[in-house]
Amino acid sequence: MNAPAVRPSELPAPSLEPIQGWHCTHMFYRINRSAWQALWPDARRRGLDALVSALDPAGAHAPARLQSFVVSGHKADFGTMAMDADPLKIDSVHQALLASPLGPALEAIYSFVSLTEISEYVPSVEQYAERLVASGEDPTTPAFAAKVGAYEKRLPMMNQQRIAPEFPTWPAMCFYPMNKSRVVGANWFTIPFSSRNSMMAEHAQSGMSFAGRVSQVVTASVGLDDWEWGVTLWARNPQYLKEIVYRMRFDEASAKYGEFGPFYVGYIKTAAEIAAHCRL
């Protein structure tokens, strides 16, 4: 039997804003030194002013979240991460840079477009209780009830952080895109949900062991970019970035089913600090 047709009145109104969550864009730039030196001094001054204005997270036209950072290594000189319900508000940051006097000396060398989401692997209160029982907890004890109650109180806040996250101000960060494997014998998308859920629970436990040292936001790019997810990590110290990625690579969800793209490592800086660091 065919499913009943959806009436136009039951459909959401056309909109650029997601039904749940925010748009997210990572942008990475390289400075063309020859083009920069060729600019008149006045143009360079106005270009620097435009950089400071465009990357001001408190600016009048800034997206809901905006952070900038210098990039370590040769892949880029600096980058931005922005989130907002309106994707054009995010893109306006990029367009403002290109349209400024700095634009002729600026090369956009990589971008990643995604959406925030609440993963299907985030356990409900009931699933969390089942995991406690599976780990040996006695469901009749006050301690069990306290743990479940605490999780129930935390869950709305954790989900809000997933769909409209605050960006940490910790000094070190990295970004990388990733897929789940589709190769014969290790096709993530042919595994039953219960097995995938169990592997992701193990993966989450590894991440939680770095609480207070590393913060993570995973955004979904399925249907939006070349990779399926983007992972952004912030750390109190760069060493923790190395340690958490190494630790989580041993989890089955990563070791057997993870495919990873280029890594970009950066250090959180204001636009003025980026200009000084890049000797502009």
Q: Which residues contact 38 (CB under 8 A, 6 or more apart)?
A: 105
pLDDT at 6: 67
The per-type count for the chain, helices as H runs and strands as E runs, is 9, 11
pTM over 0.85: yes
Residue 4 has pLDDT above 70, yes or no: no
* Marked catalytic residue, from 29, 110, 176, 257: 176
- In the Cβ-directed half-sphere of 78, how many Cα atoms lie within 13 Å? 25
Instruction: Tell me the C-alpha distance between 200 and 121, whole Å.
Output: 7
Are the CB atoms for 145 and 256 separated by under 8 Å? no
pLDDT at 217: 96
176 is catalytic: yes
The average confidence (pLDDT) of the chain is 94
> Bridge-partner residues for 81, per DSSP?
26, 67
Residue 1 has pLDDT above 60, yes or no: no
pLDDT band with cut points at 50, 70 and 90 for residue 2: low
For residue 109, give the nearest of 264, 275, 272 by alpha carbon: 264
Q: What is the mean pLDDT of residues 249-276?
A: 96
pLDDT at 131: 86
Are the CB atoms for 240 and 246 separated by under 8 Å? no
Instruction: Tell me the C-alpha distance between 36 and 29, whole Å.
Output: 14
Q: What is the mean pLDDT of residues 238-265?
A: 95
pLDDT at 102: 96
**Residue 226: is it exposed, middle or buried by C-beta count within 10 angstroms (0-12/13-18/19+)?**
exposed
For residue 120, give the nearest of 184, 183, 74, 189 by alpha carbon: 189
List pLDDT tens digits, range 12-61: 889 999 999 999 999 999 999 999 999 999 999 999 999 999 999 999 99
Query: CA of 23: how far to CAs of 91, 108, 128, 223, in Å?
Result: 10, 19, 29, 13
Q: What are φ and ψ of residue 27, in 5° steps?
A: -125, 140
Question: Containing H/E element for 167?
Answer: none
Arch. (CATH architecture) of 164-264: 2-Layer Sandwich (3.30)
Break the chain into its structural domains and give their ranges: 23-116+268-277, 164-264
The torsion defined by the Cα of 182, 184, 186 and 188, in degrees rounded to 10, comes to 40
The angle, 0 to 180 degrees and rounded to 10, between the axes of the packed helices 142-163 and 125-134 is 130
Q: What is the mean pLDDT of residues 168-187?
A: 95
Q: Which residues contact 84 (CB under 8 A, 6 or more apart)?
A: 22, 23, 63, 64, 65, 90
Same fold, 23-116+268-277 and 164-264: yes
For residue 272, give the nearest of 6, 16, 56, 30 by alpha carbon: 56
pLDDT at 106: 97
**Residue 69: is it exposed, middle or buried by C-beta count within 10 angstroms (0-12/13-18/19+)?**
buried
Q: What is the mean pLDDT of residues 170-194?
A: 95
Least confident of 48-57, 126-135, 158-167: 126-135
23-116+268-277 is classed CATH 3.30.70.1030: yes
Collapsing DSSP to helix, strand or coil, 232 comes out as: strand
